[in-house]
């Protein structure tokens, strides 16, 4: 019973870390990476799909993405979807290939992005702490229902706290890495 609570807490905290990784990967640095366009949606025969479902996204160089639509008719739609996205990108079509240059980040924009990164990190920490609270509540319920002793509960709460500390430290490390990446010119 207690082991179930701890393993569930561990899994949920791991999911919070994965969600943070996904959110951080969407925050644009000066460098190009293929995952940048993953959340850009384009209309494809009446339904909205991700760009990477209708086109091949690859790196042209460190500062340019190349997007090649699987169907010629989609080139204009994909280009428009990228331009209209919240990423501030200005794609240019060159025959069959859409080139997406990464503009340089200004100092002010970098500072704004760092605020966004810290906010995402704080949200992840809150999620981890909520998992800890839920796990501790579940442990208290086990004691109340006489399925575990108070000593076992205390030890399990210590283990859950150690898990929480481990994941919060991992979040801090991820944030530090992303901030360093954003400030690199």
Give the predicted TM-score (pTM) of the model.
0.69
Which one-letter DSSP state was computed for residue 91? -
What does CATH list as the number for 34-101?
3.30.1360.40
pLDDT in tens, 52-95: 899 999 988 878 889 999 998 889 999 999 888 877 788 999 88
Question: 2-26+106-183: which CATH number, 1.10.132.20, 3.10.20.600, 1.10.630.10, 1.10.10.10?
Answer: 1.10.132.20
- Closest by CA to 174, choosing from 7, 20, 8, 3, is 20
Beta bridge partners of 144: none
pLDDT in tens, 122-140: 999 999 999 999 999 999 9
Domain regions of the chain by residue span = 2-26+106-183, 34-101
């Amino acid at each position: 019973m207690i082991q179930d609570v701890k393993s569930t807490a561990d899994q949920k905290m791991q999911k919070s870390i994965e969600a943070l990784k996904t959110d951080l990967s969407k925050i644009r640095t000066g460098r190009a990476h293929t995952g940048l366009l993953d959340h850009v949606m384009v209309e494809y025969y009446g339904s909205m799909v991700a760009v990477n479902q209708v086109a091949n996204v690859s790196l042209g160089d460190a500062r340019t993405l190349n997007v090649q639509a699987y169907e010629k008719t989609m080139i204009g739609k994909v280009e428009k979807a990228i331009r209209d996205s919240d990423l501030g990108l200005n794609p240019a079509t060159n025959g069959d290939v859409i080139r997406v240059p990464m503009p340089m980040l200004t100092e002010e924009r970098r500072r704004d992005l760092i605020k966004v990164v810290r906010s995402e990190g704080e949200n992840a920490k809150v999620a981890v702490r909520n998992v800890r609270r839920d796990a501790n509540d579940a442990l208290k319920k086990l004691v109340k229902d006489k399925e575990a002793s108070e000593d076992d509960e205390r030890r399990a709460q210590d283990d859950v706290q150690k898990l929480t500390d481990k994941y919060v430290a991992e979040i801090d490390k991820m944030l530090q890495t992303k901030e360093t990446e954003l400030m690199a010119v």
